[in-house]
């Protein structure tokens, strides 16, 4: 079966606001106040917890390898889990596109570098977890994106054929994953790093979700 695999943060949903809130809670615990701006640091938020901690700590005048990054990582996850969907929203048309893809016979799944427990909680809170045939997180396997096995195992667990899938994402990590897997990628242009996606030379760019089903058919063919 042909499968469409979605990244989560920055692809299906804009999670940056809640991620930055969690990081700022850590910086306040350090006595430094809010170090990240939701409006300008969203791109960093979608690169993960350590990237946010590193940026804030650098702004505090500390080195980028300061042990505070590891020391506060679990605290960041705690703060994030506590308020995981306060600001988060699904991108316009995302679930309509998922519904249409399923109607056309494609399997849909999620492959994310967010810890699995947090990803499941978020998708459940958003009311969409059951829409996907499989969902693998950063700690589901011993490897994660850009290792292609993370993508392949997501497709297998969804009931699909790893050789017949496409990855929808929003970062260089997603593009590197698709290259390593030898499959096509579709990168979204509406996330925080959307302006940089063309430079990664994906097989397709997605400007709005209503275009996704036809793009998938162009890349994978009809089911």
Would you tell me the crossing angle of helices 68-82 and 49-59 to the nearest 10 degrees? Answer: 120
Catalytic residue among 7, 14, 18, 41: 7
Of 1, 5, 8, 10, give the one whose Cα is nearest residue 189: 10
Q: Are 185 and 151 in contact (CB under 8 A)?
A: no
- Token output for 217: 């058919």
Strand intervals (E) in 113-214:
135-136, 165-169, 184-188, 204-206
d(CA 11, CA 75): 25
7 is catalytic: yes
The residues, ordered by sequence, that sit 6+ positions from 126 with a Cβ below 8 Å of its Cβ are: 13, 85, 88, 90
Q: Please name the residues in contact with 4: beta carbons below 8 A apart, sequence gap of 6 or more.
A: 101, 106, 107, 108, 109, 165, 166, 168, 212, 216, 220
Alpha-carbon distance 39 to 42, whole Å?
Answer: 6
Catalytic (active-site) positions = 7
């Amino acid at each position: 079966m042909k499968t469409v695999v979605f990244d989560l943060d920055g692809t299906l949903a804009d999670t940056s606001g809640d991620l930055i809130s969690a990081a700022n809670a850590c910086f306040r615990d350090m006595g430094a106040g809010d170090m990240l701006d939701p409006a300008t640091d969203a791109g960093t938020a979608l690169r993960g917890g350590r990237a946010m901690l590193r940026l804030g700590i650098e702004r505090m005048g500390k080195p980028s390898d300061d042990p505070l990054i590891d020391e506060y990582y679990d605290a960041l996850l705690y703060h994030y889990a506590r308020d995981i969907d306060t600001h988060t929203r699904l991108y316009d048309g995302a679930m309509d596109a998922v519904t249409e893809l399923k109607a056309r016979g494609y399997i849909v799944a999620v492959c994310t570098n967010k810890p699995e427990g947090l990803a499941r909680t978020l998708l459940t809170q958003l009311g969409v977890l059951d829409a996907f045939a499989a969902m693998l997180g950063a700690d589901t396997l011993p490897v994660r994106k850009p290792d292609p096995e993370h993508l392949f195992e997501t497709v297998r667990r969804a009931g699909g054929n790893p050789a017949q899938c496409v990855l929808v994402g929003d970062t260089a990590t997603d593009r590197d994953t698709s290259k390593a897997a030898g499959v096509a990628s579709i990168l979204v242009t509406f996330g925080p790093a959307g302006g940089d996606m063309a430079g990664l030379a994906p097989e397709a760019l997605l400007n709005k979700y209503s275009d996704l089903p036809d793009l998938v058919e162009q890349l994978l063919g009809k089911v």
